[in-house]
Amino acid sequence: MSHFNYILDSLSDLGQLFFWNNREEKKTKSVENDLIGELRDILKGSRRESFNEIPSPTWTVIRARGIPDRFEPKLRKALSEAFVFFDDYNYKVRQYNEYRLADSGDPKLGDLEYHVRVANKKLGDSAERVIDMVDS
């Protein structure tokens, strides 16, 4: 009887392991889809001329926890790069807007505007690379 119970326990453990891995895989896919969806939104936003910060709730959570290990290494690297540009863009937009409110007549504002446009271009290119990688 104890041999039979051992086999049942082993099968139960295997079932739980399979269930857990399947659940983790679904969660990883969900996070990946959320990140890609936000990158698509960011890409649309990077085509605009306005200098507004772009929110990314999923990236805020991922930044705290890290990109899941289950992501393909190339995708992890591309996502990481895209969101570095995302953070840089938002920082430069905040800097530009704060400076613009403080002193709108200063020639330095033109330099800041240029840096926002460059950051916007890098962000758009990087987001496009990730989306192309996922779509192919």
Going from N- to C-terminal start, the domains of the chain cover 2-135
Regarding pTM above 0.75, the answer is: no
Tell me what pLDDT residue 47 has: 65
Q: Is the pLDDT of residue 132 over 60?
A: yes
Q: Is the pLDDT of residue 19 over 70?
A: no
Tokens linked to 19: 């269930």
Instruction: Give whichever of 4-8, 15-19, 90-94 has the largest mean pLDDT.
Output: 90-94
Average pLDDT over residues 67-76: 79
